[in-house]
Structure 1
């Protein structure tokens, strides 16, 4: 089985109008592996090139019936700081952000006709180390407060450790399975409500042979493909 290239590579290839062959996938073995296994280092370095507080990026690529989505954001947009947690309040903010990000189908609501279901979530950052993709979390109402229980400081089974960084980013990756991918028409972004520090979302997408880009804001938070 050939390894899957990174979402960024898929997006760039699709936008250039070039198909990804099995040979090119095999040739991208090292890059794809580093992207999945070592994103805390290589992915973070890539993100730093466009690190602007208040601005985040969202990439979407549809492959047959699999929708891949990647959110790239300065940590400050999501937790209010970019250093390893230095207090209980910092730790709570980071835990709450991770919990909300894992509930990706509530942050990013695809139109119902496509019947897309969130399959996996992977969150990586210099502020934490994710060892592997985790199953999608059970439904959580992101409108409710994600409380932090100091007595249960195990992070709800999350396996990560803090590492030092300056200007840290958070990268959240989602994979959806869509029963009717041809019916994908829109994306309602709830990210601005859950993370008020995010003021602008720069989107690039390749969906059903439609490709393009758009900038979303709190006042204009619906993307149409």
Structure 2
């Protein structure tokens, strides 16, 4: 993927994240809740996932046992297989293009002092390249099935037809927006 395309795809998501951060005070993460930002652009749909590590692996620190290491590896593999976590309306013609994960407690990204001991998070940027992303009218989100610790997903959507907020609660994983 060329840099221009990547910048064009990620710019709306970054703008959305900055607006969201300015609009709401920064609070400590909440177990069971996951934040999902969705940017629908002219050539891509980009997701930014932000979750307490506990929601994803069941603990918030570096793995201490072989079983915890295996759990963490399996969870990261699921996140990297984002095409199974996000099923975009076929009308958009999307294919998974890129997954970038940041979870310092699991050795991904830059370590933050004290984070490896507790209150670790996982963040991910996921890009789907699409023929016509504006044609998408729904996204089936399988995060509840993949990660039992997730009970609620707070969603911010930036699309050509507006900005939308949605909350998904177990078991409903279908995300819709805009006028139908």
TM-score calculated relative to the size of structure 2: 0.81
Question: Structure 1 stretches (4+) deviating beyond 2 angstroms?
Answer: 1-9, 12-15, 128-131
In structure 1, the gaps of 5 or more residues are 16-47, 132-162
Q: How many residues are matched?
A: 163
Q: CA deviation at 1:179?
A: 0.4
Higher strand share: 2
Distance in 1 separating the partners of 2:91 and 2:12:
24
Distance in 2 separating the partners of 1:165 and 1:74:
13
Deviation by residue 1:179-218 (Cα, 9 ceiling, x = unmatched):
0122111011111011011000000001222311011012
Q: Give the equivalent residue in structure 2 for 1:192.
A: 144
The counterpart of 1:68, out of the listed 46, 66, 88, is 46
TM-score calculated relative to the size of structure 1: 0.66
1:173 equivalent in alignment to 2:178: no
In structure 2, the gaps of 5 or more residues are 21-25, 110-114
Q: Give the equivalent residue in structure 2 for 1:183.
A: 135
Deviation by residue 1:16-55 (Cα, 9 ceiling, x = unmatched):
xxxxxxxxxxxxxxxxxxxxxxxxxxxxxxxx73400000
SS in 1 for 2:167: strand
Distance in 2 separating the partners of 1:6 and 1:87:
40
Deviation by residue 1:156-197 (Cα, 9 ceiling, x = unmatched):
xxxxxxx82420000111011110122111011111011011
User: Is contact 1:60–1:68 with CA below 8 Å preserved after alignment?
Assistant: yes
